[in-house]
Structure 1
Amino acid sequence: MTAIVSPSSAAPDADRPVLRDFGGGPFGIYVHVPFCATRCGYCDFNTYTAGELGTSASPQSWLTALKGELATAAAAFAALPTAQPAVDTVFVGGGTPSLLGGDGLAQVLDAIRDTFPLAPGAEVTTESNPESTSPEFFARLLDAGYTRISLGMQSAAEHVLKVLDRTHTPGRAVAAAVEARAAGFEHLNLDLIYGTPGETDADLDASLDAVLAAGVDHVSAYSLIVEDGTALARKVRRGELPAPDEDVLADRYHRIDTRLTAAGLGWYEVSNWAATDSARCRHNLGYWDRGDWLGAGPGAHSHVGGVRWWNVKHPARYADRVAGGGLPAAGWEALTADEAYTERVMLTVRLRTGLPLAELTPAGRRAADRVIADGLAAIDADRLVLTDRGRLLADGVVRTLLD
């Protein structure tokens, strides 16, 4: 099965990714909203404030381009010998999707429905900044067909939020979660960031108290990473803030896992906990299981049929490329067998379900024996599953398996 997906209408054949081995399995769509009211100091995502964009791009020009990209992509899938894929999951991320408002996010989902069939029971998630939500916002999203809300909380401590340059006030994330549940949303996620300079154990405990009081059925918790080129990295380099301490990060992770597990939220991926199987983020599971997804919007990445491509980053260039009649891809690659194996090990070992031993090479199987001997993993039903200690050292486990 092959089909040509052109990065641009003028690109020569040699520059076009070829979809291969796409068999119509679970399929997701990620939509990237590149707009933010302010730039958080730790963030290196492809986002832009209104001041940075000026008149070169706007939410309306972005939405027009998004509709064009989805229509072009749908036409490419329609040329496949298999049926056009039904969309099992949608994830609208950013950036700050909630800046589009309820009506804007409804238009995003309408644009997907107009070009791809939504599978029955599809999971439809949008990220939201607590400060740009309201009871009316959540009611509009539920009416539009969204099924899941992910709220950026980061911390309940005001001084931690200040270090991160977050604009929402302490307590607003929990209030937003309560509003979303009252509107009728069953599945809600709160994001935490731990290990911020100046954060104390008491600060983290207060954040966990707030999360559990909110009654959400999913929590994501990520250690702070100081990314090159960010305002936070510049402060660390100048000595204004200390770099995150690895021992502290390990202790904080253990603290989070203990509290969430005791509250009935079990880990299913190293940084994610859910109250039930149905509360797990199916869209993200598609990434970790190396499924197929289309990424739409500036800078979005796609992976379909063993081919990966990524869009141009700037919203104005993105809109220009789509207006030219083609997909706005900046580049692409067809994964080799070795690359696919590396990704499979790197991603799947992070899951509680573990990595099937049968998928490891002979060298990988020998490395797995070393990991097990070190107490970092165990065998469960012919799968390599990380131990509690192994989760703390997951990146090291991956390196060992791939050496």
Structure 2
Amino acid sequence: MPSVLPDGIPAPSDGVLPVSARVGAHTRNFGVYVHIPFCRVRCGYCDFNTYTAEELRGAARSDFVSLAEGELSFAQRALAASGIPERSVNTVFFGGGTPTLLPAEDLVRILDTIRDQWGMIPGAEITTEANPDSVDRDYLQQLYDGGFTRVSFGMQSAVPHVLATLDRTHNPERVPLVVQWAREVGLGVSLDLIYGTPGESLGDWHTSVLAALACQPDHISAYALIVEEGTKLAGQIRRGVYPEPDDDLHADMYELVDRLLGDAGFEWYEISNWAQTLTDRSRHNLSYWTGEDWWGVGPGAHSHVGGVRWWNVKHPSPYADRINAGISPAAAREILDEETRRVESVLLRLRLAEGLPTTQLTSEGRLAVAGLIADGLLDPGSALRGEVVPTLRGRLLADTVVHRLLAETAD
């Protein structure tokens, strides 16, 4: 089953935010995340809040659009009651699960509701995730005609035995075809890859990266496989079906993908993300890493507005009950104090190629910069400009860098 939600304080049924959330709201971008928690099958490594048909317990995919519209209407009322100035939407991201299990007209209808409620900035970024076997050219055309600008395909690997270990059902030969269709209709394309699957060799990973590059996407994400407790894969590793992950191999795989993508003209802009140009970067994901505001719609979706973070109930059935009753679907929330927000900013901005200003560090943190440069973990040129930016080695040892920069807050 999906991961457990974090603890928090009770969220009010009317969704009203504290006065502190208003501060600086007019300077922050506003995005919308739509979580569509449906999958045909559960992949063995997956710990996301997703449900197969057998796990829905009375909830129906066909009800999702009206429920999402209900939460969007609730969001508009709650933000207005909280005194948050109304802002046009910068980015929308449909994730899951597999959003494209719903008909294209359903996704467009939700997007239309967002547009009608808040408006969109010119050039707004509108993305959906998709499995390669869940769309055809006509589906992608409908998305483009409805206002979508990007599609992110879950490629994961080009090697059949790796896909089999991950329980991925698509044929790797379909990936170039769906990328071609997306390009033909006018959509930007991102490909998601996973490295470090048990039994995956460095040669297998090399094959997958080259296959992704051959598709000529605008953007590539490469994530190290994390074996989450409670997943099928974790049980298989525990029983000895597959070997434990190899951290050294993970590092070699990261260095390989960074080199191959760099040679192909991609630039890293976040530890796990590379883009052809500045405009190809995922603006929605950047909003997470830079502390912007977003409302998360759907079961288990997380939201953040002005230092207030909350998360919806996980299962579609209680989620539907709350939306139909006109009350907040939030399971709980937390209100971040200034120090927590500063620490989180350091944690997240150190993942970015732009890094973070040294002014966001305490005096002790600034003193740690010199040692991190000496150890080859931070870029010296950036430090001279007052910015903390990890080197390739620093990206590989990001936890170490963060710990040393924040050591004074850990005591």
- TM-score, shorter chain, exceeding 0.5: yes
2:5 maps to none
Q: What are the within-5 Å matches in structure 2 for residues 346-385 of structure 1?
A: 346-379=347-380, 380=382, 381-385=385-389
Report the CA distance shift for 1:60/1:242 in structure 2 as closer, same or farther (over 3 A): same
**8 Å contact from structure 1 (residues 274, 280) kept in 2:** yes
Cα deviation, residue 326, structure 1: 1.6
- Output one character per residue of 1:341-395: Cα deviation in whole Å (capped at 9) or x when no partner: 1210110001000111011011211222322221100241210110111111112
Aligned partners of 1:41, 1:367: CA distance in 2, in Å?
A: 41
Aligned partners of 2:342, 2:264: CA distance in 1, in Å?
A: 36
Report the CA distance shift for 1:82/1:41 in structure 2 as closer, same or farther (over 3 A): closer
Aligned partners of 1:122, 1:101: CA distance in 2, in Å?
A: 22
Q: Secondary structure at 1:77's aligned position in 2?
A: helix
Aligned partners of 1:297, 1:116: CA distance in 2, in Å?
A: 18
**8 Å contact from structure 2 (residues 11, 331) kept in 1:** no
**8 Å contact from structure 1 (residues 89, 124) kept in 2:** yes
Deviates more, 1:322-331 or 1:360-369: 360-369
1:115 maps to 117
Aligned partners of 1:28, 1:178: CA distance in 2, in Å?
A: 28
**8 Å contact from structure 2 (residues 11, 333) kept in 1:** no
**8 Å contact from structure 1 (residues 302, 310) kept in 2:** yes
Aligned partners of 1:327, 1:86: CA distance in 2, in Å?
A: 22
Report the CA distance shift for 1:201/1:331 in structure 2 as closer, same or farther (over 3 A): same
In structure 2, the gaps of 5 or more residues are 1-9
1:69 maps to 71
- Output one character per residue of 1:88-108: Cα deviation in whole Å (capped at 9) or x when no partner: 000000000010121121122
2:183 maps to 181
Deviates more, 1:332-341 or 1:345-354: 332-341
Deviates more, 1:393-402 or 1:213-222: 393-402
- Output one character per residue of 1:271-323: Cα deviation in whole Å (capped at 9) or x when no partner: 00000000000000000101111111100111101111111000010010111
Aligned partners of 2:186, 2:22: CA distance in 1, in Å?
A: 41
Match among 163, 169, 172 for residue 170 of structure 1: 172
Aligned partners of 1:315, 1:58: CA distance in 2, in Å?
A: 8
Q: How many percent of aligned residue pairs carry the same amino acid?
A: 52
2:193 maps to 192
**8 Å contact from structure 1 (residues 34, 94) kept in 2:** yes
Match among 24, 27, 32 for residue 30 of structure 2: 27
Q: Secondary structure at 2:50's aligned position in 1?
A: coil
Q: Secondary structure at 1:377's aligned position in 2?
A: coil
- Output one character per residue of 1:116-162: Cα deviation in whole Å (capped at 9) or x when no partner: 22111110000001100100011000000000110000000000000
Q: What are the within-5 Å matches in structure 2 for residues 38-117 of structure 1?
A: 38-54=41-57, 56-81=58-83, 83-117=85-119
Q: Secondary structure at 2:342's aligned position in 1?
A: helix
Report the CA distance shift for 1:113/1:259 in structure 2 as closer, same or farther (over 3 A): same
Q: Which amino acid aligns with 1:73?
A: A
Match among 126, 151, 154 for residue 124 of structure 1: 126
Cα deviation, residue 82, structure 1: 5.4
Aligned partners of 1:171, 1:59: CA distance in 2, in Å?
A: 29
Q: What are the within-5 Å matches in structure 2 for residues 219-258 of structure 1?
A: 219-258=220-259
Aligned partners of 1:49, 1:17: CA distance in 2, in Å?
A: 37
Q: Which amino acid aligns with 1:29?
A: V
Match among 8, 13, 20 for residue 8 of structure 1: 13
Aligned partners of 1:160, 1:82: CA distance in 2, in Å?
A: 47
2:316 maps to 315
Deviates more, 1:198-207 or 1:293-302: 198-207
- Output one character per residue of 1:161-181: Cα deviation in whole Å (capped at 9) or x when no partner: 000011111121222111100
In structure 1, the gaps of 5 or more residues are none
Aligned partners of 2:302, 2:352: CA distance in 1, in Å?
A: 22
**8 Å contact from structure 1 (residues 98, 129) kept in 2:** yes
**8 Å contact from structure 1 (residues 7, 328) kept in 2:** no
Report the CA distance shift for 1:365/1:115 in structure 2 as closer, same or farther (over 3 A): same
**8 Å contact from structure 1 (residues 6, 17) kept in 2:** no
1:209 maps to 210
**8 Å contact from structure 1 (residues 17, 332) kept in 2:** no
1:288 maps to 289
Q: CA RMSD in A?
A: 1.6
Aligned partners of 1:82, 1:34: CA distance in 2, in Å?
A: 29
Cα deviation, residue 327, structure 1: 1.7
Answering whether residue 265 of structure 2 is matched by residue 270 of structure 1, we say: no
Aligned partners of 2:378, 2:346: CA distance in 1, in Å?
A: 14
Report the CA distance shift for 1:82/1:52 in structure 2 as closer, same or farther (over 3 A): closer
Q: Secondary structure at 1:171's aligned position in 2?
A: helix
Q: Which amino acid aligns with 1:240?
A: V
1:139 maps to 141
Aligned partners of 1:366, 1:220: CA distance in 2, in Å?
A: 33
**8 Å contact from structure 1 (residues 77, 85) kept in 2:** no
Count of aligned pairs between the two proteins:
393
Cα deviation, residue 17, structure 1: 5.3
